[in-house]
Amino acid sequence: MMAVYEATATAPVNIACIKYWGKRDTKLILPVNSSLSVTLNQDDLCATTTARADLAFERDRLWLNNKEEEIKAGGRLATCIAGMRSLRREFEKTDNSLPKIAEYHVHIASKNNFPTAAGLASSAAGFAALVSALAQLYKLPTTPSELSIIARQGSGSACRSLFGGYVAWEMGTKDDGSDSRAVQVAGREHWPEIHALICVVSDIKKGTSSTSGMQRTVETSPLLQHRTSNIVPERMTAISKAIKERDFPTFAQLTMADSNQFHAVCLDTEPPIFYMNDVSRAIIATIVEYNRAAVAAGGEVKAAYTYDAGPNAVIYTLKENVKEIIELVSHYLPHAVPFKDAYGLFAGTQPVGRLPAGFNEAVAKKFEAGAVKNLIHTSVGDGPQVLGPDQSLLDTKGQPL
């Protein structure tokens, strides 16, 4: 019987506070600016990937949520698999006792623990889980930063999913992309109180894909270069400091400002790109009012909204405010499905839409149930994890389970 070479790993979703928008090299996926994100808890959102190498496999194959995906020559999947295989080959050269599994074909199965229909960018978690599973399969002595360089070539923001906690993607300056990688600014345990609420917003039409949208911005927005050269570098320094000092108001202010500016350069694109809709706008208005009321009452800014390339809101806040914000969001955006109370805040009951004291209800209108399809409560989390063989997604024949 031949030896079986297999590993299973999970990787998290990350949501950027300082946004990645625009590539200086589209093939290597090198960005026009650095970015920074919070890694989300894998208990709530993660991708799981099993990779197996077997002499008997006839070609590389990959299944995503049990559906086979074509591994196109020169495509992003092929690039990541080739990158990992190349690291294994180099590694085998250093130690003759290592089995020559770099020459085997691989079968890979991946799935998400959240519905793809949630509209959450699953590619970041997916590519991070892919390189993590392959790194484990190949027993590579690589660091997460080294792996992030390969994951980056699958999906830019995937590089930030190689770490838990608070993660910077340093844009780098080299043409070959060897210094365009993720680094951890702080671990989850440094500031575990950061929680996130994801408001999955219904949208009628499919928006512009981020890949094509960001290149249109690079080509046509007169404001983008000013953003990347003059604004983002200062924001990266300032938000890293805020994270290190656990300064939530500064973290929140920078997060909101950078979400706004990302959408501003989208609007400054020709033709303009709109990702936020009237529901997104209403969520912004309620968070602005929530913070205003908190500050007016002698407190501090308590929440930050951020939007990626779609209408979904992610609201960052401290653990102590989550229940209040779930009530607030529920007031304007009644749930279409019951709220899944993963952190036990409501003791078996559902939010009723209570507004905080001193809150001006008129800042937004109430929408009909279903304008927000789903509300997901999560928190800052750890980086990729290796699972045991009992968690494999492949059967004995190398087919998805």
Q: Which residues bind its own copies (CB under 8 A)?
A: 204-205, 222-223, 226-227, 230-231, 253, 256-257, 260-261, 263-265, 267-272, 274, 277-278, 281, 284, 288, 362, 364-365
Calpha distance 281→263 (Å, rounded): 12
Q: Measured from the CB atom, is 1 or 204 closer to its own copies?
A: 204
Q: Measured from the CB atom, is 192 or 233 closer to its own copies?
A: 233
Calpha distance 297→88 (Å, rounded): 59
Q: Measured from the CB atom, is 39 or 291 closer to its own copies?
A: 291
* Minimum distance of its own copies from residue 231's CB (angstroms): 5
Q: Measured from the CB atom, is 67 or 206 closer to its own copies?
A: 206
Calpha distance 52→298 (Å, rounded): 57
* Minimum distance of its own copies from residue 227's CB (angstroms): 7
* Minimum distance of its own copies from residue 212's CB (angstroms): 14
Q: Measured from the CB atom, is 311 or 400 closer to its own copies?
A: 311
Torsional sign, CA 35, 38, 42, 46: negative
- Residue type at 398 in one-letter notation: G
Q: Measured from the CB atom, is 20 or 305 closer to its own copies?
A: 305
Calpha distance 215→221 (Å, rounded): 10
* Minimum distance of its own copies from residue 286's CB (angstroms): 11
* Minimum distance of its own copies from residue 85's CB (angstroms): 42
Q: Measured from the CB atom, is 78 or 285 closer to its own copies?
A: 285
Q: What are phi and psi of 328, to 5 degrees?
A: -60, -50
Q: Measured from the CB atom, is 93 or 366 closer to its own copies?
A: 366
Here the contacts of 318-324 (C-beta below 8 Å, separation 24 or greater) are: 318/193, 318/194, 318/195, 318/248, 319/193, 319/194, 319/195, 319/379, 320/193, 322/195, 322/197, 322/377, 324/356
* Minimum distance of its own copies from residue 318's CB (angstroms): 20
* Minimum distance of its own copies from residue 256's CB (angstroms): 7
* In contact, 241 and 253? CB cutoff 8 Å: no
* Minimum distance of its own copies from residue 116's CB (angstroms): 22
Using DSSP's 3-state secondary structure scheme, residue 240 falls into helix
Calpha distance 239→96 (Å, rounded): 46
Structure tokens at 392: 């494999």
* Minimum distance of its own copies from residue 223's CB (angstroms): 5
Place of tokens 């914000």: 325
Q: From residue 334, give the alpha-carbon distance in Å to each of 44, 50, 246, 275, 327.
A: 22, 38, 32, 22, 10
Beta bridge partners, 197, equal 315, 377
233: Cβ contacts below 8 Å, ≥ 6 apart? 33, 34
Structure tokens at 230: 């003059």
Q: Measured from the CB atom, is 1 or 362 closer to its own copies?
A: 362
